[in-house]
Amino acid sequence: MSDEILFQKIVCNDAQRLDSFLARFLGEVLPGASRSGIATAIKAGLVSVNKKAVLKPAHKLKINDEVLVKKSRIPNENSRISSENSRIPNELFEKIKIIYEDDDILVISKPSGLVVHEASSLKGESTLVDFLKQSNRQLATLGGEFRAGIVHRLDRYTSGVMVVAKSDFASARLSSQLQQKTASRIYIALCDLPLKQNCVVERAIGRCENNRLKKAVYPLGKNGAKYAKSAFCNIFLDEVQNPQNSPKKNTPNIIAAKLFTGRTHQIRVHLSSINRHILGDVLYGFKGSCDIIRVFLHGYILELKHPRTGQMMSFCAPLEDDFAALIGVDTRTLNEKLTKNFVLSCFEPNNQWLCLS
């Protein structure tokens, strides 16, 4: 089990609502744990009952139900990042890998679990911005103090490659590339099922009506839905799949995803819309083992023009150890098989791709 699991086993001794039970229990051992923070954790898929994820704070518990909380810190109603508190060392900082750096940009591989920048729902968390400030690097200020250097982001439990702007000039140029969709981003995901066929999904994404933490597919304009486009393809590796290009039993399915737009949770939403779910992504419908404690989505390739020279640059963040462990191979073998050129070749123009809208 991961260190992020706060309590492995909490047994309910009275029939009551899940959020009420956790508020009472956590209030005794974690003073200041807020009711709203507990509700947020439940809706984010960080709480399970009898080994099944539960997303409703009002879920009715029965006597002897076992509750698992997959969160190292329930948001505290009094917590707030200050310049002093944000300098508390974070063990995740040690896992940040520097891929490239010059006077204008810093390219890193972000570990799973690290928040990119402060948000109202994540008060008190150490962030990537804290790490950048602690390293005494010059950072762009166009995004403000709490987003210094940040021009794009990865979800907390998504790992992988990110570019950071070290100057306002670089920040403006990089942001323009992202807005104009001239920068290319490719992700690797482990999914519960393989794709029936490589496909391009063009479906607008807006706010979910039933869960404010989620996004969902809607007609363009409904609930603020904006145009979104993603491409998905199966990846079959000899080390983990058989020569007939059919995954071995119980082996996670490797899927590559290319973004043409950058909506929040876009890959997760589009995969869910075709009944495919990333391992660990209970927020978007994964119903597998509760032992999987992260969303297995990794930013693998980032291609962009250097903001000052205009030179096209391509960066790759090798997959992390937990990917290889779940697949059942060593990390070195996995990254030797899953090369950048191989993944890029998967998205070469092909008329056989299925288009879904």
Per-residue model confidence as pLDDT tens digits over 328-344 = 888 888 888 889 999 99
- Is a pLDDT exceeding 70 seen at residue 78? no
pLDDT band at 85 (very low <50, low <70, confident <90, very high): very low
Q: What is the pLDDT of residue 61?
A: 87
| pTM summary value | 0.73
Q: What is the pLDDT of residue 101?
A: 94
266-314 pLDDT, tens per residue? 999 999 999 999 998 888 988 876 667 789 999 999 999 999 999 999 9
- Is a pLDDT exceeding 60 seen at residue 265? yes
- Is a pLDDT exceeding 70 seen at residue 71? no
Q: What is the pLDDT of residue 31?
A: 45
Q: Of 198, 194, 213, nearest to 275 (Cα)?
A: 194
The residue from 155, 168, 281, 322 that is catalytic is 155
2-34 pLDDT, tens per residue? 334 444 467 777 788 888 887 776 655 444 456
237-263 pLDDT, tens per residue? 654 444 444 545 567 899 999 999 989
Kindly report the average pLDDT of the chain as a whole number. 81
55-64, 171-180, 304-313: least confidently modelled range: 55-64
Q: Tokens 């933490």 — which residue? A: 213
* C-alpha–C-alpha distance, residues 252 and 323, integer Å: 10
Q: Which has more confidence, 134 or 249?
A: 134
* C-alpha–C-alpha distance, residues 144 and 146, integer Å: 6
In this structure, what are the phi and psi dihedrals at residue 78, rounded to the nearest 5 degrees? -105, 0
Q: What is the pLDDT of residue 137?
A: 86
Burial of 191 (0-12, 13-18, 19+ CB in 10 A): buried
Q: Which has more confidence, 245 or 127?
A: 127
Question: Which amino acid belongs to residue 56?
Answer: K
Q: Which has more confidence, 177 or 243?
A: 177
- Is a pLDDT exceeding 50 seen at residue 79? no
Average pLDDT (198-204) is 95
Left, alpha or beta for 118 (phi > 0: left; psi -120 to 50: alpha)? beta
- Find the DSSP H helices in the chain: 18-29, 35-43, 128-134, 168-180, 266-273, 321-327, 331-337, 340-345
Q: How many helices (H) and strands (E) does the chain have?
A: 8, 18
* C-alpha–C-alpha distance, residues 106 and 303, integer Å: 14
C-beta of residue 142 within 8 angstroms of C-beta of residue 168: yes
155 belongs to the catalytic site: yes
12-16, 173-177, 193-197, 265-269: least confidently modelled range: 12-16
Q: What is the pLDDT of residue 62?
A: 87
Average pLDDT (102-121) is 85
Q: What is the pLDDT of residue 239?
A: 45
Q: Per residue in 33-49, is it b (16+ CB within 10 Å) or e — as a string?
A: bbbebbbbbbbbbbbbb
